Amino acid sequence: FGESAEAAVAVAKEIASLIRYKTNRNEHCVLGLATGSSPIKVYQELVRLHKEEGLSFKNVISFNLDEYYGLGKEDVQSYVYFMHHHLFDHVDILPENINIPDGTIPYDKISNYCAYYEERIESFGGLDFQLLGIGRTGHIGFNEPGSKESSTTRLITLDYLTRQDNAFAFDQFDEVPKKAITMGVGTILKAKRIVIMAWGLKKAEIVFKTVEGEMSTDIPATFLQLHEDVTFVMDDLAAADLT
Ligand code: F6R
């Protein structure tokens, strides 16, 4: 795509078609959702489709990829806040169908909680569709370098570069959380369909390594090469280094 705005509309259109298809069959539509700058225009278009074209989210079950550890819904930097602000507050999704890793879970309950998150995804028959961005470290979700192909939902330590890239949302760099709860690479790979997005020149290098490089835990996004139904959607700038 030449421009990200045009690409985002195409991605929203695919999600809307899936929601409508599932609604017509009286089935849940299980969406894996991302935060960050990449999906914002997709959510804007989904909100427009809801308001202007009657797209209903009543049959949607959502699972977000990740959440900062230590942040809760009252924190404006939290992903629960982000999702309500950009999407959930503007559509008719049922509150009980929204799932976002709980960043306020006590430390000693994290592993049980993460197992529960995995089981809950499975209980709805798995993710029908997973939307992803990509970090400059090669992370998907917050699966930083070193994350294995089989990894599941867990507490991780954020890379320094990731904290730098996300620091704009905080008053000071020190306030950027050092840890997060994220779905694993294995959780993501189980989704039936995956769309990953990248916009702008600063993503060009990692896009190249992800698409044309060897599969490796050094760049967890390369494990997407294993998936049989994944599309990498990018603008011309993010595609600049591809051969
Ligand atoms: C967000 C997430 C991350 C981001 C990635 C890119 O839920 O899981 O993997 O998708 O850090 O962030 P942006 O889109 O802000 O460049």
How far is the C-alpha of 64 from the C-alpha of 79, rounded, in Å? Answer: 8
**DSSP code string of 74-102:** TSTTSHHHHHHHHTGGGS---GGGEE---
Residue 138 DSSP code: S
For the question of residue 149 being annotated catalytic, the response is no
For the question of residue 165 being annotated catalytic, the response is no
Residue 94 CB: number of other CB atoms within 10 A?
Answer: 12
The stretches in the chain having pLDDT less than 50 are: none
Helix axes 40-53, 79-86, angle to 10 degrees: 40
Query: The whole model's pTM is what?
Result: 0.98
Ligand 1 atom index nearest CA of 139: 9
Domain boundaries, the chain: 4-234
- ipTM over cut 0.90: yes
pLDDT reported for residue 80: 98
14-48 tens-digit pLDDT: 999 999 999 999 999 999 999 999 999 999 999 99
pLDDT reported for residue 202: 98
Q: How far, in Å, from the CA of 199 to the mean position of ligand 1?
A: 11
CATH annotation of 4-234: 3.40.50.1360
